[in-house]
Structure 1
């Protein structure tokens, strides 16, 4: 069991609660391929994106290394055409290809991006797409106090948007020891690093800067 797996196991239920309130799958839904037979969600977490994609695709496969996350996914976001699997994203193992491969806020946890991208390219059908959304920062690992200050600053806006009870639960999650320990292990790429690394691995891909994240779209043409 690796560190990331342990960390997400410890926060699975609260992570799903917070993510459900703030969930926005627009980037992935607006960039789907024309053919919608099979989709792979890498780092599916508690299944929020997989759940929405299941309304468009005939078959959805969601993979994650956290058993607790997958249990939440199966309990809260299960549909008949979704399969959740415990699988390390660095060792993808599938017999069939996909029309769409997606990943949200997962790649900053991974060690060998080039190997994973090569595997993804081998698994995507002709005219299929790879779409990745991940954190971007000029500082590789932010200090813990930045996240605590952020949680404090967001509390009132969250009260207005979600109500006091939900805002308090979000705040407690965001400053909890397990979540802060997880954030302390994150390693983000700078904007230029995205262009350098993904531009080489996914020739002719498109980049979209979206505040805290960068989106990447690559079509297998």
Structure 2
């Protein structure tokens, strides 16, 4: 049986789905106004954030476990200053990044804290670790019915925003078995757990509540 946490089974559909969510993967981190020589996008998927970060950094490295997602990134969001790699986060041993960024990936790791510690080890002094991850105060794993209810309630608004064709695609994607199986494999921290863990690893971190997720920014001072 395929790993439900894997994006391999629905990579192309997920890429289209993300493309219909303007700014979700990029606006917060781009809004930090960071620039520099090297940025790392951990769990880069099909390259939506890496492509945007390439306008602010001289070199961007995008890393993801999913070969189909990296193939999409290389085909659709290639830039001369982006390198895409199929790799586990713990296999990244580069150092001295000006930005280490991760979006809604950390909750997939079997050892969340170890993942954060590893990200911290990759940033240079004066550089920034920026992490966005899903949180849920009521359920570690929200029930499928909650996602389906949200899709039904949001459908008229999405028709207005996207048009019928793309809204219908998005609606069907929310109902697809592989996506629902994937969501059922997620384990989220609550906001309190998130802040407690991140404060231990990143003392002095700053937080932004994005509704579906918390965003954390931390600058390495030595």
| Alpha-carbon offset, residue 128 of structure 1 | 0.2
1:22 — aligned with what?
A: 21
**RMSD of the TM alignment (CA)?**
1.5
Scaled by the length of structure 1, what TM-score is found? Answer: 0.94
Q: Is 1:31 aligned with 2:32? A: yes
In structure 2, the residue corresponding to 1:3 is in which secondary structure? coil
Moved over 3 A (4+): none
Query: 2: CA distance between counterparts of 1:153 and 1:37?
Result: 44
Tell me how many residue pairs correspond in the alignment. 218
Query: 2: CA distance between counterparts of 1:97 and 1:2?
Result: 36
Contact 1:33 1:128 in 2 (8 A): no
Q: Is the alpha carbon distance of 1:33 and 1:4 closer, same or farther for their aligned partners in structure 2, counting shifts above 3 Å? A: farther
Instruction: List gaps (5 residues or longer) in structure 1.
Output: none
Q: Is the alpha carbon distance of 1:2 and 1:124 closer, same or farther for their aligned partners in structure 2, counting shifts above 3 Å? A: farther
1:9 — aligned with what?
A: 8
Instruction: List gaps (5 residues or longer) in structure 2.
Output: none
In structure 2, the residue corresponding to 1:99 is in which secondary structure? strand
1:88 — aligned with what?
A: 88
Query: 2: CA distance between counterparts of 1:23 and 1:112?
Result: 30
In structure 1, the residue corresponding to 2:217 is in which secondary structure? strand
Contact 2:41 2:101 in 1 (8 A): yes
1:214 — aligned with what?
A: 214
Query: 1: CA distance between counterparts of 2:99 and 2:4?
Result: 25
